[in-house]
Amino acid sequence: MTTHGSAAPSRRPSGTASRKAAAVAACALATLASCTVLDDASGPCPKSSTTVRAGDLHGDYQGPHGMRVTLGRASTQYPEGRTAQVGTVRVRNWALSLEELDENGPAGKGFRGEGTWEFRKEETTGGERFRQIKLDFLRGTPEQRVPTDPQYLEIGGTRSKPELFVESDPDTCPDVVFHR
């Protein structure tokens, strides 16, 4: 056996080494498990998906604070001379600004509205690819609550179980996630 701090390898009985390796592995696993759990309702952080397609997104999604979004089936359209996958969108209890949504839900009473959604393939300045949908609202009640600027939701999950979320900081888990 060598003393602590020496460069020569130490020889231990194999049972002691196995118990120590198992303890280190268990500790590492416990640390990883605690990092991936958000809370009981949300599960792991959603990550951007490059496999989900426009045709996979139609359906009803539920979000925080009773917010709901329904995406109609996408069809190919040609806005502004380009090809795009576009569908209809309906929302309930929607926030004027998703980025400013707090833990209490939409400020005041959320609105109910309709508009269009567009499937978008994007790329960061660093070359990382991601997919998102752009929401444009055409009408809603109360009228003063209808967002005038487009809103964007990142696409995550899988083709059979897509998720939509607001990516405000890539280093933290999103607060606003919609599950189908």
Instruction: For residue 116, tell me if it sits in a domain.
Output: yes
Backbone φ and ψ for 70, nearest 5 degrees, come out as -120, 120
Provide the pLDDT for residue 111: 83
Provide the pLDDT for residue 165: 95
How far apart CA 52 and CA 86 sit, in angstroms, is 15
Residues in the chain predicted with pLDDT less than 70, given as ranges, are 1-43, 100-109, 144
Instruction: For residue 36, tell me if it sits in a domain.
Output: no
Provide the pLDDT for residue 147: 82
Q: Give CA angle at 165 (96, 147), nearest 5°.
A: 15
Instruction: For residue 84, tell me if it sits in a domain.
Output: yes
Whole-model pTM?
0.70
Instruction: For residue 13, tell me if it sits in a domain.
Output: no
Question: How many domains does the chain fold into?
Answer: 1
DSSP 100-158: G-BTTBSSSS-EEEEEEEEEEEEE-TTS-EEEEEEEEEEEEESGGGS-SS-EEEEEEE-
Backbone φ and ψ for 54, nearest 5 degrees, come out as -55, -40
Q: Is 169 helix (H, G, I), strand (E, B) or coil?
A: coil
Instruction: For residue 104, tell me if it sits in a domain.
Output: yes
Provide the pLDDT for residue 171: 82
Provide the pLDDT for residue 163: 97
Instruction: For residue 67, tell me if it sits in a domain.
Output: yes
pLDDT digits (tens, 9 = 90+) for 61-76: 999 888 999 999 999 9
Instruction: For residue 7, tell me if it sits in a domain.
Output: no
Instruction: For residue 35, tell me if it sits in a domain.
Output: no
Q: Which domain holds residue 169?
A: 54-179
How far apart CA 180 and CA 70 sit, in angstroms, is 9
* Residue matched to tokens 């809603």: 140
